[in-house]
Amino acid sequence: MARKLNHKTRKALAPKTRFGKSVSFSQRRTLRKFKPNLQTVTLLIDGKSIKVTLSARQIRSLGKEEQPKKLITELKKLAK
E strand or H helix at 52: strand 48-55
Helices and strands in the chain: count of H runs, count of E runs: 3, 4
pLDDT in tens, 24-71: 999 999 999 999 898 888 988 888 888 888 889 888 888 887 877 888
Phi, then psi, of 65 in degrees rounded to 5: -65, -45
State mean pLDDT over 6-12: 58
pLDDT above 50: residue 2: no
> Residue 22: its pLDDT value, please?
97
pLDDT above 50: residue 1: no
pTM score, whole prediction:
0.65
Q: Which domains, ranges and CATH numbers included, belong to the chain?
A: 7-79 (2.30.170.40)
> Residue 33: its pLDDT value, please?
95
